[in-house]
Amino acid sequence: MHTLVRSTATILAIGALVVACAKVPYTNRLQYNLIPNSLMRGIGASTYTTMLAGEKIQRQGEDADILARVGRRISRAAAEPKYDWQFSMIVDDDMVNAWCLPGGKIAFYTGILPALKNEAGMAFVMGHEVAHATANHGSERMSQQLTLLGGLVGLEVYMANNTTVKPKDRAVILGALGVGATVGVVLPFSRMHESEADVIGMMYMAEAGYPPAESIKVWDRMEEVAGASGLPAFLSTHPKSDARQENQREWLPRARKRYQRNALERDTLEELWKM
Ligand SMILES: [Zn+2]
């Protein structure tokens, strides 16, 4: 109980220091975050190391090259100079998933490639995941969860600059960051956060030179993959819905204008990965 009181006091003190209303990119929604971005970047970096430990990472070859290229273009569109961008392709053909941690730490599993189908498809999912980070969805949700003892303890561990995180705290933190599905705790972002990431992701992909209409098709392909092999992890945290695609169609003309100014000369819709 003492820990809880102390943590709450710490959080409130931090809150008082950084009371800031940040604006979400493109949608301009005002959000209130209790957690400083520098702290979130630290959480992202140490969590990334933990998540990649024991995974087989593909560092060479065409798929890794494409991931690096798309990552470079999307991160340039996201324009976050304080981010230390990293892109990893995890070799796991059964895992249909991708995620991004605060501070620009991104991972794609080889299992998601058939649903992406082409470079533009990858650019949308990359844009969507990056958007969760740049729109601070993780810290917004952690702010909402601060009443949970686990969250407080977990956060305190990080604030004490301790990089070893107890498994139970780790699950809470990962859940808050939206990568829960990969550690067995499914805690999806809210529908509002998902729609927001769709919109920002479309804008990033268009800015990076990829045709934004492909973003709507990715969801259909994700569902096809689901039909073949059960519900992929990505769909369990990112349920496809007509409302979502409708929202994307609404933003399409604005994204298209951006694309027309930046379109890449090569064919980014060429089929690279087969279902
Ligand atoms: Zn998402």
What separation in Å is there between the alpha carbon of 14 and the centre of ligand 1?
28
- φ and ψ of 29, to 5 deg: -65, 140
What separation in Å is there between the alpha carbon of 4 and the centre of ligand 1?
31
- Please report the pLDDT score of residue 182 as a whole number: 40
pLDDT by residue for the chain (275 residues), tens only, comes to 444 445 544 544 444 444 457 788 888 888 877 777 888 888 888 889 988 998 999 999 999 999 999 999 999 999 999 999 999 999 999 888 899 888 999 999 999 999 999 999 999 999 999 999 999 988 887 776 654 545 555 555 555 545 555 555 666 666 666 554 343 333 457 788 888 999 999 999 999 999 999 999 998 898 888 666 566 667 766 766 778 889 999 999 999 999 999 999 999 999 999 98
- Please report the pLDDT score of residue 228 as a whole number: 61
What separation in Å is there between the alpha carbon of 112 and the centre of ligand 1?
14
What separation in Å is there between the alpha carbon of 189 and the centre of ligand 1?
7
What is the rounded distance in angstroms from the CA atom of residue 83 to the CA atom of residue 103? Answer: 5
What separation in Å is there between the alpha carbon of 136 and the centre of ligand 1?
12
CA distances from 193 to 77, 86, 186, 188, 210 (A): 20, 23, 16, 9, 23
Q: What residues form DSSP beta bridges with 78? A: none
Token readout for 52 is 């990649």
- Please report the pLDDT score of residue 10 as a whole number: 52
What separation in Å is there between the alpha carbon of 197 and the centre of ligand 1?
6
